[in-house]
Structure 1
């Protein structure tokens, strides 16, 4: 492809490859129709076909026969035959009909057809809708032989095969990587030794990415090149099954530790049927859903139930004249697959030993974890399970103050001492970002200076945040481990589970970063890095030196202990409340028993079978098509950003905040500004993901509506009530849009049309209302966008709840404060707008919160039990215009712990004071 073309880097444009392919086919069809009508020149059609041609070499469909037919009709000036064939191919790429209909692969003119064995005629044999995938074959054979090689694979098909595939043949390392990147249908790769390195096509961005490896690759022998390629493919797409075929000593090659990522090493001269069967077996290993498969079999059995679940088998529903409609709505299978039994082929979620255990093990493989636990009560419960299992009373946990409330409640239940750290504020949107690494390091170093570092057990952070801020998880863990090598990390990735299937986002996940750290620890160079830095810093480095240095941990001392909670239902095809706990903990064997106790504590003894099955199925889907689904979700988000921010009318009233507006410049050392910056290439985004302290999840979009005069809550209600568009999170002047694996381009079109209607409505009101209407809108915009309250940071715990905390560190006893409020005589209420509130702020005594106070939005606790209430917090609450504030009753006011119930010396047990027996009358 010529680098002078408008989209010269389309092969390398990671985010939009699938939709760009479809767009190019539509464009080809459009110009072909114009050519057929005499309204377009042949050379325009030829240019469009050339642009499509290179991309199609990395896909099985339309294949050589159809591409040849198109070129021949073009050369013979057959505009009438070219246009309908281009239309049919274009439609097939969109609908996917070619995956089960062999006729889609055939040219209209039978005289142009290849021999029958070169066509995928067995696509429809026996099982017309068998799942379809594509096998990438990297071969040193000349390109003229490729159609016959593909035909050989087709001849191996049998009616009893559970799946059907087509081969995509390439001849170079670069083309293999290109194909894996842009073709999400590729599920397995067969690598034949002897392939070339360079692509036949111009792919400058790809060459930039590979530049550092090329000298080594060029000098290495064939086996070394193949293994390095395998590593690159696995790094890009861990979902791929890899097969290496060699004509040398395959026994020795199979024993190479680097070959562990390869599913099978084979002698390439042997019968190709072995490769065919191995490929199908590999897909089957991922397609299997042990619990779901078993539940389907269970539902087919005639079973009499004598347990406490009347709805099982559905008799009480379908025989009832009053609730039969529920059965008709949900269908019979839902009830046939219900049971409270854990025998007769079913398994127990609390102590799984059968199909649930196998399903969890398969999920661990898919997510890159050592262990996975299914949770049916949402990630709120997952977080509490992890905290109870790992944290004991008195342990210190460094915690993002504005994380999900489940973490705060979990620490309260554990009796831990939270050391609250604040994220950087984004006052203009009434939201917080993420916690700077320097802040976390400062907390650890302060505790070290107080002689309390040994009490610190965990760093607990949200990744990514509700608004899309992603941590540099590897850097955070490495620098924290350099200060305390046995720290445990809990990463709440409730909204980020899908990121495992994006090569851009995966390194920023907890499991992805843990894998990278483990690999680094095994590299002999890691010790050299540590020793060099240790020598540079000296024996007693200053706090400032440690804060200013990117710290390298001692690989010999690290105890890598990483936990990730994952709301599977929030980004994958699981039923609501489906969650997973992912574990990569070198010391898990020492806490496994207490982890199971935490499961027993929090998990229901009657978990929903359908929910467990959906977790099993969600894993299957992501392993087999997650890469393409996530790529589409990112492309959907980029489409929305582009259309909103460039539309001449919509952009007057609405905008989506760029990465530069969501992440302060000091945390973007790569210089990355936004996904749609002119001239951006995907390697720029890759560099940002690799280097920046924080980056932005492209699928999360902050849509500013305050500039249109809408507050977030009101605009959310308008979208739902009037236009059937649902969003979740809001702020004072914005709503959060999320793209996911469920969205289509039709959804984008609906959103844009609705924003246009609303924008037109504003324009009409301003035209009819004149200057008064413009002043009213300007005042409203000023109120929402400029007169915003400052966000309150965590103040401090009252001295009563500081216990044995360090003199210069802010941790406190949240549990005692929480339960002190259970004694009504120890509590009082003060209205935030009352004169008494102002007097207490000026003169005292200090007001101390008796509970959590959580406004929605923004959804973080602005007060926790035992926290001293400050003027900043009260000012923020007074300016809030939200209806929902958990923990606050407007009629009563703030619930406070009474001043006379609080002693100003540390260690006073107000909980015990509240339990004193009342004095006898």
Structure 2
């Protein structure tokens, strides 16, 4: 894995992340975090008492989370974010040295970052660089991925910043459930103190570990030993590319006047073999001579060469929504397709509005993805015939009898028209790109739960209130609010829409973790969120200043303790 140190973890990468954070972060430390991070990183912020500064990723209208622009990694940009953070008013941003930067590498949808560029930009400014590679442990074993993963052979290590990577062995390699590890690469001037790291490791590991998980970590590592490991990764990439080629062939057979599912990704696809990794590098959207070739991603202006799409992660796009967010007259919401697939023995990884996600891990064969291809063709046939829902989705209709006598095409159109009426693509994009205001440190807001100083507030009255927990809509499963942040109008409007949509199309509702559902005496469902009791962020309220009672770290540890 090209690391100097490796620690096996038997309770998942969520725990690996917490180990890294408890070794590197103290209460009051400023940390730089990807807004697209896994919830375990947000839990780490709460547990350590850190003050987060968030980097905002891009997003397209399909609901696919894109990369954080390269400009967000500039120290000057991070300084500006520190200066603008209400929790750090009165602090000299130029003297703040962020303790850790955590980046989701890769995103769930397969977007990778050029880690060498990030290391060059932040070496010496951020003490610890943490790449959450839960979905990328395979990249180190094939040259296709180049510098788009945390640690590689023959790369110059950072001079000052220590590099961490946390990886899920059970997700992409051959480990059993919860198999994970922490990889550490020393910098030129700083070596990991294994004894001190062990304190964080022991804090989070079990004294009764499951030894079969440890064994599977060893076996998975042995399997990846070159040349065998390289061959396994290459097979995965080839199968993923063969699937894309097969999908395009079916589309060609149906012709331009008919519809078929598309696979999101670069327009250029070689006829056979791997092709060039360069073809998967993401270029700026619609600028210059590469305009037609770069329009596929929909993320707007990006730095050329800073990001790449992992071909083994495939997003299948259903008809009904264009990349610029415009709804077609007819459409097929992805949730209906994936319900159909599930009742035909195919379970997908993630479902969006008009897209669903599948992954080609080690061991996926042509027989496996051929089953998916056949099921999609069968869906198209049933859609064209407008087959009765009770015949093709009996299990779903058992739970929602209102759809029994509807045809498949009629149901697709019903849900599609609701999406278009409420412009759900724009709504879901805006809530994630809206500016969010922190009113309390995440740890302070979360402490209200233990202190029983919370209030359950109905969603109509949430605007201006401070949340004590995570608010996470599924899809896409990315936290919308973290403890201490304020509900704004756009988020409240979205929650109202989700409530109303659940009544109009039961069975297709958005699952929002963090909302509490209660039924009144008349059978009506009400939705609430837990907030700070009597806590409301009002305009013109007094700014939080750094005082003797509210210390934050703004410098290095000195000879007489921590500078504040």
TM-score, length of structure 2 as denominator length: 0.74
- Which structure's relative contact order is higher, taking Cα pairs within 8 Å and 6+ residues apart? 2
Once the 2 structures are TM-superposed, how far is the Cα of residue 726 of structure 1 from its aligned partner? 2.0
Mapped contact 1:376–1:607 kept (Cα < 8 A): yes
* 2:106 maps to 1:468: no
Number of residue equivalences: 464
C-alpha distance in 2 between matches for 1:633 and 1:904:
56
Aligned to 2:67: 434
Give 1:397-546 correspondences, 5 Å limit. Answer: 397-426=31-60, 428-441=61-74, 442-446=76-80, 450-481=92-123, 484-485=124-125, 487-512=127-152, 515-518=154-157
Once the 2 structures are TM-superposed, how far is the Cα of residue 887 of structure 1 from its aligned partner? 1.6
* 2:510 maps to 1:878: no
Once the 2 structures are TM-superposed, how far is the Cα of residue 369 of structure 1 from its aligned partner? 0.5
Once the 2 structures are TM-superposed, how far is the Cα of residue 796 of structure 1 from its aligned partner? 3.6
* 2:17 maps to 1:388: no
Q: Which one of 813, 822, 827 corresponds to residue 450 of structure 2?
A: 822
Give 1:194-593 correspondences, 5 Å limit. Answer: 367-426=1-60, 428-441=61-74, 442-446=76-80, 450-481=92-123, 484-485=124-125, 487-512=127-152, 515-518=154-157, 558-586=159-187, 589=191, 591-593=193-195
Question: Could you give the per-residue CA deviations for residues 578-604 of structure 1, whole angstroms, max 9, x where no partner exists?
Answer: 001110023664643331111111011
C-alpha distance in 2 between matches for 1:390 and 1:898:
32
C-alpha distance in 2 between matches for 1:672 and 1:742:
36
For residue 740 of structure 1, give the secondary structure of its aligned residue in structure 2: coil
Q: Which one of 530, 543, 547 corresponds to residue 895 of structure 1?
A: 530
Aligned to 1:636: 239
C-alpha distance in 2 between matches for 1:692 and 1:467:
18
Once the 2 structures are TM-superposed, how far is the Cα of residue 784 of structure 1 from its aligned partner? 4.6
Mapped contact 1:464–1:471 kept (Cα < 8 A): yes
Gaps of 5+ in 2: 84-91, 268-279, 297-302, 321-329, 390-406, 499-507, 519-526, 551-564
C-alpha distance in 1 between matches for 2:474 and 2:214:
30
* 2:493 maps to 1:868: no
* 2:381 maps to 1:760: yes
Mapped contact 1:389–1:591 kept (Cα < 8 A): no
Call closer, same or farther: CA 1:604–1:728 in 2, change over 3 Å.
same
C-alpha distance in 2 between matches for 1:436 and 1:467:
16
For residue 425 of structure 1, give the secondary structure of its aligned residue in structure 2: coil
Once the 2 structures are TM-superposed, how far is the Cα of residue 709 of structure 1 from its aligned partner? 5.0
C-alpha distance in 1 between matches for 2:305 and 2:196:
37
Question: Could you give the per-residue CA deviations for residues 304-350 of structure 1, whole angstroms, max 9, x where no partner exists?
Answer: xxxxxxxxxxxxxxxxxxxxxxxxxxxxxxxxxxxxxxxxxxxxxxx
Gaps of 5+ in 1: 1-366, 522-557, 678-689, 802-812, 913-921
Once the 2 structures are TM-superposed, how far is the Cα of residue 696 of structure 1 from its aligned partner? 0.5
Mapped contact 1:669–1:691 kept (Cα < 8 A): no
C-alpha distance in 1 between matches for 2:56 and 2:78:
14
C-alpha distance in 2 between matches for 1:757 and 1:628:
34
Question: Could you give the per-residue CA deviations for residues 199-253 of structure 1, whole angstroms, max 9, x where no partner exists?
Answer: xxxxxxxxxxxxxxxxxxxxxxxxxxxxxxxxxxxxxxxxxxxxxxxxxxxxxxx
Q: Which one of 356, 366, 376 corresponds to residue 735 of structure 1?
A: 356
Once the 2 structures are TM-superposed, how far is the Cα of residue 713 of structure 1 from its aligned partner? 4.2
Once the 2 structures are TM-superposed, how far is the Cα of residue 627 of structure 1 from its aligned partner? 1.0
TM-score, length of structure 1 as denominator length: 0.47
Question: Could you give the per-residue CA deviations for residues 336-365 of structure 1, whole angstroms, max 9, x where no partner exists?
Answer: xxxxxxxxxxxxxxxxxxxxxxxxxxxxxx
For residue 175 of structure 2, give the secondary structure of its aligned residue in structure 1: coil
C-alpha distance in 1 between matches for 2:229 and 2:372:
24
Question: Larger Rg: 1 or 2?
Answer: 1
Aligned to 1:719: 341
Call closer, same or farther: CA 1:748–1:906 in 2, change over 3 Å.
same
C-alpha distance in 1 between matches for 2:178 and 2:409:
46
Mapped contact 2:186–2:192 kept (Cα < 8 A): no
C-alpha distance in 1 between matches for 2:411 and 2:509:
21
Which structure has greater helix proportion? 1
Once the 2 structures are TM-superposed, how far is the Cα of residue 857 of structure 1 from its aligned partner? 1.4
Aligned to 2:458: 831
Aligned to 2:326: none
Question: Could you give the per-residue CA deviations for residues 624-651 of structure 1, whole angstroms, max 9, x where no partner exists?
Answer: 4111111111111111112223314498
* 2:250 maps to 1:615: no
Once the 2 structures are TM-superposed, how far is the Cα of residue 576 of structure 1 from its aligned partner? 0.8
Once the 2 structures are TM-superposed, how far is the Cα of residue 665 of structure 1 from its aligned partner? 2.6
Question: Could you give the per-residue CA deviations for residues 651-682 of structure 1, whole angstroms, max 9, x where no partner exists?
Answer: 8142111247995734999949779x9xxxxx
Once the 2 structures are TM-superposed, how far is the Cα of residue 706 of structure 1 from its aligned partner? 5.5
Which structure has greater strand proportion? 2
Aligned to 2:435: 795
